[in-house]
């Protein structure tokens, strides 16, 4: 999930993209058993995801990763998502 720099800070990510992802997760919960949404957040997006209830995940075996840009795995369980989605 990403928003073009020219459209950042205009609620595009939260109003449209994240809302759509949450709606898909709720549908998947009912049909196949989705239990959480997981993101691999870039460093400058951690605050965005935290604001919407995502938590940092503990990832085993990831120490010393040589990735050029370190990311943070984050998740939100389905329960708070279901509370946000209107039937």
Question: What is the tens place of the pLDDT at every residue in 27-45?
Answer: 999 999 999 999 999 998 8
| pLDDT of amino acid 67 | 54
DSSP 60: T
Residue 5 belongs to a domain: no
Q: 4 lies in a domain?
A: no
Residues of the chain with pLDDT under 50: none
pLDDT of residue 35: 93
Assigned domain for 1 exists? no
| Predicted structure pTM score | 0.77
- For the sheet with 36-41, list strands across it: 36-41, 72-77, 55-56
Phi first, then psi: what are they for 22, rounded to 5°? -65, -40
Number of domains in the chain: 1
Residue 61 placed within a domain: yes
Say if CB 85 and CB 19 are below 8 A apart: no
Residue 3 resides in a domain: no
On whether residue 27 sits in a domain, the answer given is: yes
Q: What is the pLDDT of residue 70?
A: 86
Range of the domain at 33: 10-84
- Could you tell me whether strands 55-56 and 36-41 are parallel, antiparallel, or unpaired per DSSP bridges? unpaired
Query: How many Å apart are CA 29 and CA 12, to the nearest integer?
Result: 24
């Amino acid at each position: 999930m990403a928003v073009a720099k020219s459209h950042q800070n205009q609620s595009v990510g939260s109003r449209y993209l994240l809302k759509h992802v949450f709606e898909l997760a709720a549908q998947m919960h009912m049909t196949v058993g989705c239990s959480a949404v997981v993101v691999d957040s870039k460093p400058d997006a951690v605050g965005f995801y935290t604001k919407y209830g995502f938590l940092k995940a503990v990832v085993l075996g990831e120490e010393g990763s040589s990735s050029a840009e370190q990311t943070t795995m984050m998740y939100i369980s389905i329960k708070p998502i279901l509370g946000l989605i209107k039937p």
